[in-house]
Chains A and B, each alone.
Chain A
Amino acid sequence: MKTFKTVVFIGLFLISGFAGATALSSYTFKDKAEEQEFRELTAKIRCLVCQNQSLADSDAELANDLRREVYTLWNEQKSEDEIVDFLVSRYGDFVLYDPPFKPSTYILWFGPFILLVIGAYVLSRALKTKAEDEEAELTEEEQQRLKSLLDDNNDNQEPTR
């Protein structure tokens, strides 16, 4: 049973790798380096139909069309920026996995750091008050009460021995 599961797992693993390979197999490239470059470019672009897959991986109809479009522009020697602009001007920033740095995305870029600063401040304050509490000495009255409590405790325990 265990071997069967392993075989199925390996099989699925191989198929998943193969699926990625088929998406680009219909295109021809001069060399491996160029193919790698094209793969990296399409991996940065989101497939809008299946939003958790990149253009490099998706077999959706629209992804196919967009890949063909990117390939055409690519063959026209368009720069990566021009190709990305082409897609963003039609589909918006959402096609990019990396959100661009601009006013509407500031909260996305700065948010975590702002939270980090707030967290650091809260932590430092908490530590400081804790340290102050520990340093605080007992008043005369409290010392007496403490002593009597400890004495009481000793008294109570004695009979059990």
Chain B
Amino acid sequence: MSDTKPTPNRTRYLIPLFVFLIMAGFLLKGLFMDPRHIPSVLINKPAPEFNLPTLYNPEKLISKADMKGKVWMLNVWASWCVACRAEHQVLNTIADMGIVDIVGLDYKDEPADGKRWLQQLGNPYKEVLVDKSGRTGIDLGVYGVPESFLIDGEGVIRHKFTGPLYYPDIKDVLIPKLNEIKGMAK
């Protein structure tokens, strides 16, 4: 019997194996995906309007319109955020390199704590905005600090870093993205 139709039989037994391999492939990929990383819907959309006091001078308000005309990075951080501490040295390095202006958004924080933090760890920010209520954070879709947004001269969000920036991100993501944004503007 087996020599009359050997081929269909043999392949048929391999079908479950293939189904299993496909499922295993998906599950394996799932292992390396971060469920906390949710793609932002704000990419290539105008950044939300804001008008916030600055950390060192609460009288001085900075709005989105004030940032028009240059590429900048909005870094959402807080003194209570542990991952921000690790990220802070990377931000200092970016500031030293002078490749992009970083504006801090002190998110749901006490201004005094924010100031102490910058005194201890250095201040990589051009300006530090204070979002005490977290309302601007909601408009930005912030769900876990730190988060960083690259915003172009037109006020459009071009990239979002969810979670802390690491040193390799400067070369691998930040610089290529900045070049891309500058290329688009031309």
Residues of A participating in the B interface, judged by any CB pair closer than 8 Å? 48-49, 51, 61-62, 65-66, 69, 88-92, 94
Complex CA gap A90/B38 in Å reads 11
**Smallest CB-CB A-B distances: 6 pairs:** A48-B143, A92-B41, A90-B141, A91-B141, A94-B38, A65-B134
Looking at chain A's contact residues, the main secondary structure is: helix
B39 within 8 A of A: yes
B168 within 8 A of A: no
Residue of B nearest to A142 (CB): B1
Residue of B nearest to A93 (CB): B41
Residue of A nearest to B108 (CB): A61
Whether A48 and B138, one on each chain, are in contact in the complex, defined by CB atoms closer than 8 angstroms, is no
Residues of B participating in the A interface, judged by any CB pair closer than 8 Å? 35-36, 38-42, 108, 133-135, 137-141, 143-144
Complex CA gap A48/B40 in Å reads 12
Q: Which residues of chain A come closer than 8 Å to B40, judged between CB atoms?
A: 92
Whether A65 and B41, one on each chain, are in contact in the complex, defined by CB atoms closer than 8 angstroms, is no
Cβ contact of B138, chosen from A49, A51, A66, A92, cutoff 8 A: A66
Residue of A nearest to B1 (CB): A142
Whether A91 and B108, one on each chain, are in contact in the complex, defined by CB atoms closer than 8 angstroms, is no
Whether B134 and A91, one on each chain, are in contact in the complex, defined by CB atoms closer than 8 angstroms, is no
Whether A90 and B134, one on each chain, are in contact in the complex, defined by CB atoms closer than 8 angstroms, is no
Q: List 19 A-B contacts (CB under 8 A).
A: A48-B38, A48-B143, A49-B143, A49-B144, A51-B35, A51-B36, A62-B134, A65-B134, A65-B138, A66-B138, A69-B135, A88-B41, A89-B41, A90-B42, A91-B41, A92-B40, A92-B41, A92-B141, A94-B38
Complex CA gap A65/B36 in Å reads 19
Complex CA gap A94/B162 in Å reads 15
Residue of A nearest to B38 (CB): A94
B110: min CB distance to chain A, Å: 14
Whether A91 and B143, one on each chain, are in contact in the complex, defined by CB atoms closer than 8 angstroms, is yes
Complex CA gap A125/B178 in Å reads 57
Complex CA gap A92/B133 in Å reads 22
Complex CA gap A98/B165 in Å reads 32
Complex CA gap A89/B46 in Å reads 12
With contact pairs A48-B38, A48-B143, A91-B41 given, residues A69 and B108 touching in the complex (Cβ less than 8 Å): no
Q: Which residues of chain B come closer than 8 Å to A51, judged between CB atoms?
A: 35-36
Residue of A nearest to B35 (CB): A51
Q: Which of A49, A61, A88, A91 has the most CB of B within 10 A?
A: A91
A95: min CB distance to chain B, Å: 9
B138: min CB distance to chain A, Å: 6
A50: min CB distance to chain B, Å: 10
Q: Which of B134, B135, B144 has the most CB of A within 10 A?
A: B134
Complex CA gap A49/B142 in Å reads 10
A62: min CB distance to chain B, Å: 6
A22: min CB distance to chain B, Å: 20
Cβ contact of A90, chosen from B36, B139, B144, cutoff 8 A: B139
Complex CA gap A61/B42 in Å reads 22
Whether A92 and B38, one on each chain, are in contact in the complex, defined by CB atoms closer than 8 angstroms, is yes
